[in-house]
Amino acid sequence: MSNNKRMTTRIVVLMLVWHAGAAGVAAAPATFRVDYYHTGNDKEEIFSLDRIVVEPLPWAGNPAQPIDATNRGKYFFEVSDVASGRVIYSRGFSSIYGEWESTAEAKTLNRTFSESLRFPAPDGPVRIVVKKRDAKNVFRDQWTVTIDPADKFVERGVRPRDAGALIKVHESGDPAQKLDLLILSDGYTAAERGKFERDARRLAAVLLATSPFKERERDINVWGLCPAAAESGVSRPSQRIYRRPPAGATYDAFDSERYVLTFENKAFRDLVANAPYDVVEILVNSATYGGGGIFGLYSTVAADSVWAPYIFVHEFGHHIAALADEYYTSDVAYLPAADRVEPWEPNVTALLDPAVLKWRDLVRPGTPLPTLWPKDEFEQYTKDVQQKRREIRAQNRPERDMDALFREEQKRDTTVLNTGALAGVVGAFEGANYEARGFYRPQADCIMFTRDEVPFCAVCRRAIETILDLYSR
C-alpha cells in the first residue's frame, strides 16, 4: 500500500472512530487554520496573512466551550460571524514573538515569526481579531482579517506531512469531550520509533501521576506521533551541533543554552495535523538538560535528561495553563519590566493591594502578606550554584557534572523550603517572575519554582484545573 493510501486510511479510520455511535448528533466541523507572519521589534509589530488551511481531521475541541473566559495569555483572538457580529470562538495564547520582543535583540533588529490560529470551520465569512495586552495588561485590538471559508484560495484536501501511525498512549474517550495531549517526537530516526514510544509512555505516566492531572486522568487523552528524522538528535548551536529534525527543535533559543523551541511553525503544524490535539509536548531525542513551554503553542523536553520528569511537568505547566516561572535566580534572556503592574499570569502577583490578592481565598486567616521565608539564605546558596554552573559550562565539562550540581541543589532546596511553620502554607512569598523584588509567588515551594520533588502548589493546581474544565466539561 502506498504512503498516500496509508495516510488516507488512517484519517478515515480516525474519523469513523471519533463519531461511532453518534447517530443523531451533528458531525464535528472541519478544522480551520490561519497561518500568518508576525514581524517587528520591541516598539512595533505587524501581522500579515500567509495561508488558510483546512486540516485533514475534524475539529477535536470541546463544542460546549467555544468561548474562553479564563483571561490567560499575552494575546487573545476572537472569531466573529460577519453577518450577525456574534463571537463564535475565542482563545487566549502566547507566542514566540511575544517572548522575543522582551529580549535585548529586539531592541536592535526586526525579526519575523510564523504563527497560527486554529478554530472550528465556520459556516460563512468570519472576522478574526487578534488582541494584545497593553502596558496595563488590558487587551487591545492589534490585527483584523476577514476570511470566507468558500474562498477558492483556502487550501483543502492537502495531505499532511507523514508523521507515522498514531500511537494511543492513554485513551479516555471522544476527543471532543477530553483534553487531547499530543506527544510529538523530534530527532528520532525510523529505527528509534520504539524508543520514542517508550519515552512517551514513561513521561505521560509521570504527568498523569501528578496532581491535578492524576485526579483528572479520565478527562485526558494522550496521543503520540513519531515523524522519522534523517539523523538522531536536534541542533545545539552552542556546541556547533546542527540538525534538521522534522519539527525543527533546537537548543539555544534566544541564546539561552537550555531553552528548546522550534521556529519552524508551518512544519510543526503540518505534522501535528495528523492527530487530534489541544496541547502538544515535543519530545527531543537528547540527554542534555533542556526544555521550554509557551501557553497555547507547545512545550518541549529533552527525553533522556535525568531531569526529564521535572522538565516535562514544569514546562507543560507553562503550556497548558500559562503558569509563570516562579524562580528568579537563574540567568534568562528577558529584560525586566519597566513598571510594576499586576501580572496576568495566575500564579504570580505584584501584591499592589494585599486585600485583593488574586488567590486570597486560599490564604489561611492570620497569614502575613507578604509572607516571610528564608530568602537571604536561599539567595546566597543559589548565587554560589549559579557561579558553579557558569564554570561547568565554560570548562565544557560533561553533563553528569551539571546533573550532580542540580541534585545537590535539589536536596538543599527541599530542606530549606519545606520545613518550618509556613511550609506548604499559601501566602505571598517575595521572589518570582525572574525578579528578586516586587513579585510574589503563592507558596515557598512549587514545581514552578525549584527542581524539588514537590508538586504544583495549590494556586497552580487550581489554574490547571480551570483549563482542564475548558476542554473537558
DSSP 89-143: EEEEE--HHHHHTTBGGGGT--EEEEEEEEEEPPSS-EEEEEEEE-TTS-EEEEE
Q: State pTM to two decimals.
A: 0.92
Give yes or no: residues 315 and 361 share one domain. Answer: no
User: pLDDT grade, residue 332 (50/70/90)?
Assistant: low
Whether residue 298 is contained in a domain is answered as: yes
Give yes or no: residues 35 and 174 share one domain. Answer: no
Summarised one tens digit per residue, pLDDT across range 290-327 is 999 999 999 999 999 999 999 999 999 999 999 999 99
Give yes or no: residues 141 and 261 share one domain. Answer: no
Q: What is the C-alpha to C-alpha distance for residues 278 and 60, in angstroms, rounded to an integer?
A: 8
Summarised one tens digit per residue, pLDDT across range 370-399 is 999 999 999 999 889 889 988 998 898 988
Q: What is the CATH number of the domain that holds 305?
A: 3.40.390.10
Q: What is the C-alpha to C-alpha distance for residues 245 and 225, in angstroms, rounded to an integer?
A: 14
Shortest CA distance to 471 belongs to which of 131, 88, 173?
Answer: 173
pLDDT of residue 334: 57
Which residues have a Cβ under 8 Å from the Cβ of 70 and sit 6 or more positions away? 92, 466, 467, 470
Identify the H or E element spanning 177: none
- In this structure, the number of other CB atoms found within 10 A of the CB of residue 83 comes to 10
Give yes or no: residues 106 and 231 share one domain. Answer: no
Whether residue 455 is contained in a domain is answered as: yes
Q: What is the C-alpha to C-alpha distance for residues 182 and 201, in angstroms, rounded to an integer?
A: 12
Summarised one tens digit per residue, pLDDT across range 149-199 is 999 999 998 888 899 999 999 999 999 999 999 999 999 999 999 999 999
Give yes or no: residues 142 and 194 share one domain. Answer: no
Whether residue 261 is contained in a domain is answered as: yes
pLDDT of residue 282: 98
pLDDT of residue 329: 85
Residue 47 is classified by DSSP as E
Whether residue 153 is contained in a domain is answered as: no
Contact 275, 188 (CB under 8 A): no
Whether residue 83 is contained in a domain is answered as: yes
Whether residue 94 is contained in a domain is answered as: yes
Instruction: Name the domain boundary from 118, 147, 176.
Output: 147
Instruction: Name the domain boundary from 117, 147, 177.
Output: 147
**Across 226-255, average pLDDT:** 97
Summarised one tens digit per residue, pLDDT across range 5-60 is 444 444 444 444 444 444 445 689 999 999 999 999 999 999 999 999 999 999 99
Give yes or no: residues 315 and 430 share one domain. Answer: no
Strand, helix or coil for residue 280: strand
Summarised one tens digit per residue, pLDDT across range 337-354 is 667 899 999 999 999 999
Give yes or no: residues 171 and 317 share one domain. Answer: yes
Angle between helix 308-321 and helix 193-208 axes, rounded to 10 deg: 70
Alpha helices (H) along 361-443:
375-394, 399-417
pLDDT of residue 25: 53
Range of the domain at 405: 354-467
Give yes or no: residues 274 and 312 share one domain. Answer: yes
- Tell me phi and psi for residue 281, to 5 degrees: -115, 125
Summarised one tens digit per residue, pLDDT across range 103-120 is 999 999 999 999 999 999
Q: What is the C-alpha to C-alpha distance for residues 68 and 122, in angstroms, rounded to an integer?
A: 17
- In this structure, the number of other CB atoms found within 10 A of the CB of residue 421 comes to 7
Give yes or no: residues 180 and 316 share one domain. Answer: yes
Give yes or no: residues 60 and 110 share one domain. Answer: yes
Which residues have a Cβ under 8 Å from the Cβ of 123 and sit 6 or more positions away? 81, 149
Q: What is the CATH number of the domain that holds 53?
A: 2.60.40.3250
- In this structure, the number of other CB atoms found within 10 A of the CB of residue 62 comes to 19
Q: Tally the domains of the chain.
A: 3
Shortest CA distance to 71 belongs to which of 93, 104, 102, 43?
Answer: 93
Whether residue 14 is contained in a domain is answered as: no
Contact 144, 128 (CB under 8 A): yes
Summarised one tens digit per residue, pLDDT across range 239-248 is 999 999 999 9
Whether residue 162 is contained in a domain is answered as: no
Give yes or no: residues 128 and 233 share one domain. Answer: no
Give yes or no: residues 180 and 303 share one domain. Answer: yes
- In this structure, the number of other CB atoms found within 10 A of the CB of residue 128 comes to 20
pLDDT of residue 4: 45
Calculated CA dihedral for residues 238, 243, 244, 247, nearest 10 degrees: -60
Beta-strand ranges (E) seen in 105-245 are: 111-120, 126-133, 139-147, 167-170, 179-186, 220-225
**Across 132-161, average pLDDT:** 95
